[in-house]
Every structure is written in structure tokens, then in C-alpha cells.
Amino acid sequence: MPDPDAPFSALNASQPTRPVPGRVMPGRAGQPPSRTARRRSARRRRRLRRTIVVATVLVGIVVLLAGGGYLYALYRYHQIHKDKVGNLVSEADTKGVNILLIGENCRSCLNGKQANAFGTGSEVGGNRSDVTMLLHLDPATHTASVVSIPRDSFVPIPGTDKANRVDDALNTGPSELVKTIEDDYGIPINHFVGLNFDTFQGVVNSLGGIKMYFPDPVKDAYSGLNIPNPGCHLLNGFQALAVVRARHMYYEVNGQWYYDPTGDISRIHRDHEFLKVLAAEVKPRLHNPLTVNSLLGSIAPDLQVDSGFGLNEMISLVLAFRNVDPATVPTATEPVFEVPGDFTYDGVPGYGSVVFPVSPTDYTLLWQRFGIKTPAIAPGTTVSVLNGSGIAGQAAAVGQALTSLGEHVVNVGNATPSSDPAETIVYYRPGYQKQAMALLPHLSGNAVMGERNLPNGLDLQVVTGTYLSVTGTPASTSATGSSAASSPASGTGTSSATSGAQGQPVPSVDVTPATEPLPSYDPRACPAGMPVTPVS
């Protein structure tokens, strides 16, 4: 008989396997397993239990982290200063999400530690929006774009029957600035976000500074900017703020200092470039919890948002647009005409430098960027034309031209000129903005619209300005019987002058372009591999 203790491989395979007394052969049905099999089974059960326990713990950790992450976000969200901002529009009524971003220059809002640099609230009173940007987010295409409105744009201020710089609207509060943008530009605003000098510096410092390349030495005594040497420099919060605030900048080329004459317009272009550099610095660091904590800690306490901008929506927007490349986000500036000298309005001097919006270029740009279609002229809308420039016969010529476009002009007359040069304003009564938007693109020159209570049941009132002509195909030659098909903003049909000289042409040399490349002396992203030196 074979040795019962010999390995199975040593047994004669031709012989049948028989049970050995006192032992049970493994694998035999209906009989208990061997000691080895029991040990293997026990090990399998222990591994299974450990796997279940580990999986349970991991799931628990994930749940806790997710909950903890949300609770942390909620904690930071509660630190944000939330204002009840009026005049905001529901996102259900807009194409995408429109956010008004402002950088305010309120001195009384600061922590007081840098009064020597910026002045105190008593020295520099009021609160103005030095930076006014419109951010458009399109969830359908996951794209973003930014358009800036120059701080010195001279536009009607709602509820005042007067015009002023757009940045002055913030003096009354965010609600007034929102209404000014919506009334004068026809752009609905969903949310408001504002930050001050302290917040801006805190963001930069939390990142350990921002690297920017300066092709030439630059300086601005007003903002504190002073870069004595070209190269890639690491800017702290204060120095970065000096860059984005510089409106009186000098640059040096071959030992000679030159002045940048375009002031605020050049500053806007630098701000767009800075934002791209900043976003490129922030994006790869969002995976670092310490950086995120530092960044949120520096932003939240001084950030100002409308109370309807909820945490869940913020998170959804971040997730939806997290893959947007900052370098490819299109930026533009509202085209404007720079009024030379110290502006006088309603007989009051001292307004300083102001700019007028340029129609139809500015509205074509803005409405296209925000997916707003130019309305058609509505038959029966009553229009009055008043001569606000003092140019002889202007109101009659403009009235005749608008009539040929299909507008129902009920009377022409005179108004007291408010300035020289004067700005054309299309006033509309409450509820008639679309009718004003249909008319405005036909006014070539310096033109803007604004809401006002009008007399005698009028729907629209055109107060003419110095630089003005009416363009478009007369309604009688239009296949549809309206001028909408030939609107300059719609880009269809053939536009032509419909009347004689109604005003002076806008000097093209003084009209700022919507987009232009950075000049050679402006700061920008550092080239790859260039050594970085801190600004002393």
C-alpha cells in the first residue's frame, strides 16, 4: 500500500484513491474539510472582513471629507460681506450669467494701515468704481469673456435727471451702479461682486506674490508704481496694486522718459493682462488645500457680493468653468471718445477728464458679447427730437432721418445745451428700453440711452449732441417695412446716410479701440525660464 503520508504527487495515479482511517480526503463532499483547508478558509474570511472594514472606512472618510469640504466652504462663504443689491435680473431671463465686477476706491472701507499710501476717508471721500468689468459666462459653451467700461464714461445716472461718470454711481450704492449699467447699456446683470484695495493686496500676498515681466522701467507717482529695471519681477500685494491703478504712467526707453497719454484706457488694458497672469498663477494651485485656505482667507472677509449669490451657485460655476484657459478669455474695452480738457457740465466746471460712448460701435460690441439681439423698431412708438448741441437745424434734420427709418417722430424742438461738446442721449420712459435699443444703433457718433419720466405721454426723447449722424436704410425700401434688417448692430442690410449734415463727425483719431495689442512697455507674463527678482 502506498504511504498515506506521502505527497499526493508521489502516489500511483493509476490506483483509485481511498479514504484513510482517521483522515478525511480534501474535496470529498459531505465530509468536514482538512485542517489546512480550514486555515485557508479562515484566512479568506479574515481578508474579506478586512476588505469590508477598509472599504467602509474609506467611504466614511470620503463622506466626511465631502461634508467637511462643504462645511469649510460654507464657513468661508459666511465670512463674505453680502449686500442686498437691487435691480438684479434672474438668470432665467438672460443668456448665460452676467456678473458685474468692480474694484472700489473707498478709503473709509480700508483697514487704516496704509493711510499714508491711499489717504483716509476724510481726505478722499466717497466710493467710486475705479474698475468696472462685465463678466459673461456661457454655460452652453463653457466660455467666458470680459468687457470693461471706462471709469470716466459720461452717462445718465438713474433718478437724477443728470449725467455723470459711471464710477460715480457707486457713491449711492451697488444697486445704483447696477441700474446705471442696465439702463444705459441694455445689459441685464445677474450678480454683483466687489473688492477693495485691501482685498486685492490680500489675494496677491496669499499667493506669495505675482510674477510679471517689465520690458522697460516704468513709474507712476500717483499709484506708487516704480520699477527701475526691466526684467521679470516678483510683486507683492502693494506693488501689484500700483500696477493695476496706474493711470499716469511713464516709461523709459534708451534713457529717455515718455508719458503714456491714454491714461485710464491704458490702465484697463494692463488690468486685463494682469488678470490673465493672476488667473494663470491661481489655477494650478487650487489643488493645494493650504493655498486655497490662504486665498479664501484673504478674499472672504473683505469681498462684497449680492445676497442672492448663493454658495451652491458659486460652486456650480467654479466646477462648470474650471477648465477655461485664462490666456484665451477674450477681453475688450467699450469704445469711447476722449473729451479734451477739463469738462464743464450744466455750467459747472471741474469734471476733469471724461469720455463719451461711441455709437454704434460700443453697443454692437456689448450686445454681441452678451448675446443680446437688436430689437426691431416698433411702429407707433412716439419720438420727440430736441436740439441739444446748438447746431442750426439739427433737430429737424435728425427728425426727418428718423422718420424715414420708420420712427414716429411727433415733434422737434430745442433744449439747452448741457456741455460743449454735447452728448446725444436717447431717453426712454419706463418700460420702453427695447424701443430705445432699436433706435440707438442708427445714431452714429457719441450717443447713449437712459431712463427718464417723459412729458406728454412720449415714449422716446432724443436730445441731440455735437457728434451725430443718422444711418440706415429708409423703411420704405426695406422688405420688412422696418429698419431692423439694416441696423448697424445687426450686421445685415445696407446702411447709408438718410439725411444731410446733422452734426460733426467724431474725430476718429480720438476714438479708443475695443481691443489692441499691449504696447511694448506694458508689463505682461514672464517668459518661461527667465530669472525672477523681487522689487526692492
Return the minimum-mean-pLDDT range out of 155-164, 343-352, 467-476.
467-476
Residue 530 pLDDT > 70, yes or no?
yes
- Band the pLDDT of 128: cuts 50, 70, 90: low
Residue 52 pLDDT > 80, yes or no?
no
d(CA 410, CA 424): 19
What is the CA angle 401-403-405, rounded to 5?
Answer: 75
d(CA 28, CA 31): 6
Q: How far, in Å, are 11, 18, 25, 85, 380 from residue 8 at the CA level? A: 5, 12, 11, 86, 106
Residues 6+ apart with CB under 8 A from 114: 197, 238
**More reliable by pLDDT, 291 or 414:** 414
Residue 526 pLDDT > 70, yes or no?
yes
How many helices (H) and strands (E) the chain has is answered by 11, 24
For 165-202, what is each residue's pLDDT tens digit? 999 898 888 999 999 999 999 999 999 999 888 888 88
Return the minimum-mean-pLDDT range out of 120-124, 369-373, 434-438.
120-124
20-45 as b/e: b if 16+ CB within 10 A: eeeeeeeeeeeeeeeeeeeeeeeeee
The whole-number pLDDT of residue 470 equals: 94
Residue 104 pLDDT > 90, yes or no?
no
Q: Is 140 helix (H, G, I), strand (E, B) or coil?
A: coil
The whole-number pLDDT of residue 275 equals: 93
Residue 63 pLDDT > 90, yes or no?
no
d(CA 433, CA 184): 9
d(CA 518, CA 217): 16
**Cell numbers representing residue 455 in the block:** 412729458
What is the CA angle 447-453-457, rounded to 5?
Answer: 105
DSSP H helices in 159-282: 174-185, 197-206, 237-245, 264-282
Between the two ends of the chain, the Cα-to-Cα distance in Å is 97
Q: Is 154 helix (H, G, I), strand (E, B) or coil?
A: strand
For 423-442, what is each residue's pLDDT tens digit? 999 999 999 999 999 999 99
**Cell numbers representing residue 474 in the block:** 429708409
**CB distance 532 to 232 below 8 Å:** yes
The whole-number pLDDT of residue 499 equals: 46
Q: Please state whether beta strands 424-428 and 443-451 pair in parallel, antiparallel, or not at all (unpaired).
A: parallel
Residue 60 pLDDT > 60, yes or no?
no
Q: Please state whether beta strands 460-463 and 382-387 pair in parallel, antiparallel, or not at all (unpaired).
A: parallel
Q: Is 447 helix (H, G, I), strand (E, B) or coil?
A: strand
The whole-number pLDDT of residue 348 equals: 95
**More reliable by pLDDT, 98 or 93:** 98
**More reliable by pLDDT, 505 or 31:** 505
Residue 19 pLDDT > 50, yes or no?
no
DSSP H helices in 34-125: 35-79, 115-118
For 236-291, what is each residue's pLDDT tens digit? 999 999 999 999 999 999 999 999 998 999 999 999 999 999 999 888 877 777 77
Q: Using CB atoms within 10 A of its CB, is residue 61 exposed (0-12), middle (13-18) or buried (19+)?
A: exposed
Residue 448 pLDDT > 90, yes or no?
yes
The whole-number pLDDT of residue 220 equals: 96
Mean pLDDT of 54-75: 60
Residue 150 pLDDT > 80, yes or no?
yes
**More reliable by pLDDT, 63 or 337:** 337
The whole-number pLDDT of residue 491 equals: 35
For 472-520, what is each residue's pLDDT tens digit? 878 654 333 333 333 333 333 333 444 454 788 888 878 999 998 999 9
Kind and range of the H or E run holding 294: helix 289-299
311-342 as b/e: b if 16+ CB within 10 A: eeebeebeeebeeeeeeebebbbbbbbbbeee
Residue 468 pLDDT > 90, yes or no?
yes
Across 124-128, 378-382, 460-464, 511-515, which has the greatest mean pLDDT?
Answer: 460-464
DSSP H helices in 422-476: 433-439
Of 151, 366, 185, 368, give the one whose Cα is nearest residue 271.
151
The whole-number pLDDT of residue 445 equals: 94
User: In whole numbers, what is the pLDDT of the chain averaged over residues?
Assistant: 83
- Band the pLDDT of 38: cuts 50, 70, 90: low
Among all chains, which residue has been given the C-alpha cell 456678473?
A: 99
Mean pLDDT of 113-133: 61
- Band the pLDDT of 151: cuts 50, 70, 90: very high
Q: What is the CA radius of gyration of the chain?
A: 34
